Structure 1
Amino acid sequence: MHQRKIHNTHVELTELGFGASVIGNLYRITPAEEAAAAIDAAWDAGIRYFDTAPHYGLGLSERRLGAALKGRPRDEYVLSSKVGRLLVPNDHPRGTDTEGFVVRDDLRRQWDFSRDGVLRSLEDTLQRTGLDRLDIVYLHDPDDHWRQAAEEAMPALAALRDQGVIGAIGAGMNQSAMLARFLRETPADVVMLAGRYTLLDQTALDDVLPTAEEHGKSVVAVGVFNSGLLSRDHPTQGMKYDYQDAPPELLDRARAIADVCTTHGTTLPAAAIAFPYTHPSVVNVTLGMRNPDQLARNVELHRTTVPDGLWDDLRAQGLIRPDVPAPHVPGRSAPCL
């Protein structure tokens, strides 16, 4: 599997990454053996970038990922986690977490982007994973905490990076405008962009992507299926877009894109995975994968050749923006036959 380097760092990511939110029991229970088998299958497929966070299952994702990676050569993979939500004892548990994960709520999340909060969060993550270091650390969803995140958390991470403790630092969010600010105004190396550079939403072309290119920084793309609407060959009524039922106009657009994909001998989900690589600042696409079957499907989709002519036709039909650049990654596409 091809690797791409985060600009101005020594950190290299495989083009496809393993997103570990789902093995934290996102929306439903994932048995421990199934989660471990998914990570084993990812390793066998050549994936060497794994992303997690304390938020995912109140630490369950970090524990499971750390257990599965422990014993593997530490220099052969890249591990990222996040800071900004400390896990603290919950004095008023109701039995089950209320933020989308099917886990007990003996702990609760506490926002904290202070320097001490960052250091404590990192220490807790290393304890939960049982691993010796993190390669990338992102500020997690600092939407309502810009000042503390930019003025306290990011300098704390930068100091650790400059000491060689962390390889790269950044922020991960569902919006692109503030990520552009992090790239412009802070020492961030990379941002994790969720859902804002996809076949259905290219708003990142207005801010974070040109900023990354201008400043020589990198972007990891996640949420490329926009919560599911782009995950099937033929989208159907009731599928989700950004965690809600897809509006009719977006469903119609997804179907139109799917039809163009068919004429080019490919599929909507394969194109959805390939699309972020049209921009030169994108170094990785990370997907949530719950079990070996999902892993095998996503790897196969990633390896599918998507003809360059597809993007040309989508531009010509007004289904993607005219300023979407041509693909740049060797091996990701081939001329239209």
Structure 2
Amino acid sequence: MRTRTIDISGTPICELGFGAAGIGNLYRPMESAMALDVVADAWRQGVRYFDTAPHYGAGLSERRLGLALQELPREAQLLSTKVGRVLEPLPSNVPVDGEGFVQAAPFARRYDYSYDGVMRSFEDSLQRLGVGRIDILLMHDIGRLTHGDQHELQFRTAMDSGYRAMAELREQGLVKAIGLGVNEWQVCDEAMNHGDFDCFMVANCFTLLENSITDTFTERCRHERVSLIVAAPFNSGVLAKGSVGAGHYFYGDVPAEVIERVKVLEAVCGQYDIPLAAAAIQYPLRYDCVKSVVIGMTKGVRIRQNIDWYALPIPSEFWQALVDKGCIGAFPGA
């Protein structure tokens, strides 16, 4: 597994990361033993970067990931988790709202981007993961897509208060790098005007289907040495399963318009005998500011398949064909 370096912090990171939402029972339940096995399988196959969040299964993902990694060398691991939601225990007579996670732990999620909320969330994550530090700490789901009309208020709290907590944790050496973990790159662009961030994790918005991020923002990141971690390169599934399988798109059903665009991508892939999923994984890594691509992994065979797709040689002519079709923008220096 090749590695790159998060520029400002100097933190090495492998180019393919383990997204731990699946072991938090995203969309379907998973037995704990299977969750531990799939993490061990990823480790055996060379994956060293693992990303989780309190939101994933209301703490379930962090607990399982911590157990799976506890006897593996900590110095070889790169861990990221997130702040911005505080988990509060539910009374026994209150049903659990899994928010897409099946059989989630009995906790309610409450958004809290304040200094105290970030510190509490961080300390709780340390305990669930069973570690004394976090390598990358990301402020989770700040932005208009999540908060709508409340965005301005939440953003102000995050930048004035929560950011201060994250910066202190970095100064104390309890985290190596700080950033945002979001589904919209525009809020990262906005946040760069308010704080010194090492990296951003952008999900669902640096893909073969959604790539306006390359219009201006990737160049700003390159110029200011801010690194990107790209999550959900399959747009929640559709770019892995294709136009027939459909899967999910932005965690929901796939619109007909998106299916038609996937068919255009599939046609170009067919001309060059390139699996669509391989192109989806490798596309963000063609940008120097991108340091890792994080993929949800729930089965050993899928891990092996993802690694094979990641390693598959893809000719430059293929990427130019996608540019010519208007699927993606021209690469820097082209």
Q: TM-score, normalised by structure 2?
A: 0.93
Gaps in structure 1 of 5+ consecutive residues: 328-337
Query: Contact 1:9 / 1:167 at 8 angstroms: preserved in 2?
Result: yes
1:320 aligns with 2:294: no
Distance 2:209 2:323 in 1: 12
Flag the 1:93–1:205 CA change in 2: closer, same or farther, 3 A.
farther
1:137 aligns with 2:137: yes
Counterpart residue number, 1:155: 164
Match of 1:306 among 296, 307, 314: 314
Match of 1:288 among 275, 296, 311: 296
Counterpart residue number, 2:67: 67
**1:199-230 C-alpha deviation (Å, 9 max, x unpaired):** 11112124532221121110000111012111
Query: Contact 1:183 / 1:189 at 8 angstroms: preserved in 2?
Result: no
Aligned length: 325
Counterpart residue number, 1:247: 255
1:65 Cα deviation after fit:
0.3
Counterpart residue number, 2:35: 35
Which range moved further: 93-102 or 119-128?
Answer: 93-102
Greater helix content: 2
Query: Contact 1:191 / 1:218 at 8 angstroms: preserved in 2?
Result: yes
Which range moved further: 43-52 or 86-95?
Answer: 86-95
**1:244-270 C-alpha deviation (Å, 9 max, x unpaired):** 322223212211211211222211000
Counterpart residue number, 2:147: none
1:189 aligns with 2:189: no
1:104 Cα deviation after fit:
4.6
Q: TM-score, normalised by structure 1?
A: 0.92
SS in 2 for 1:17: strand
1:155 Cα deviation after fit:
1.7
Distance 1:32 1:239 in 2: 24
**1:51-91 C-alpha deviation (Å, 9 max, x unpaired):** 00110001110000000100211111100100010001224
Distance 1:102 1:309 in 2: 43
Counterpart residue number, 2:146: none
Which range moved further: 235-244 or 12-21?
Answer: 235-244
SS in 2 for 1:46: coil
Distance 2:122 2:247 in 1: 36
Counterpart residue number, 2:272: 264
Match of 1:179 among 161, 175, 188: 188
SS in 1 for 2:321: helix
Which range moved further: 243-252 or 63-72?
Answer: 243-252
1:96 Cα deviation after fit:
3.5
Distance 1:92 1:312 in 2: 57
- RMSD in angstroms over aligned alpha carbons? 1.7
Counterpart residue number, 1:227: 236
Query: Contact 2:20 / 2:52 at 8 angstroms: preserved in 1?
Result: yes
Aligned amino acid, residue 174 of structure 1: N
Distance 2:245 2:55 in 1: 31
Distance 1:205 1:274 in 2: 15
Flag the 1:68–1:326 CA change in 2: closer, same or farther, 3 A.
farther
Query: Contact 1:86 / 1:112 at 8 angstroms: preserved in 2?
Result: yes
Aligned amino acid, residue 9 of structure 2: T
1:309 Cα deviation after fit:
1.1
Match of 1:216 among 215, 225, 232: 225
Distance 1:299 1:281 in 2: 21
1:160 Cα deviation after fit:
1.5
1:92 Cα deviation after fit:
7.2
**1:284-333 C-alpha deviation (Å, 9 max, x unpaired):** 00000012122121111111112111110111122222x34479xxxxxx
**1:85-105 C-alpha deviation (Å, 9 max, x unpaired):** 000122475434340111255
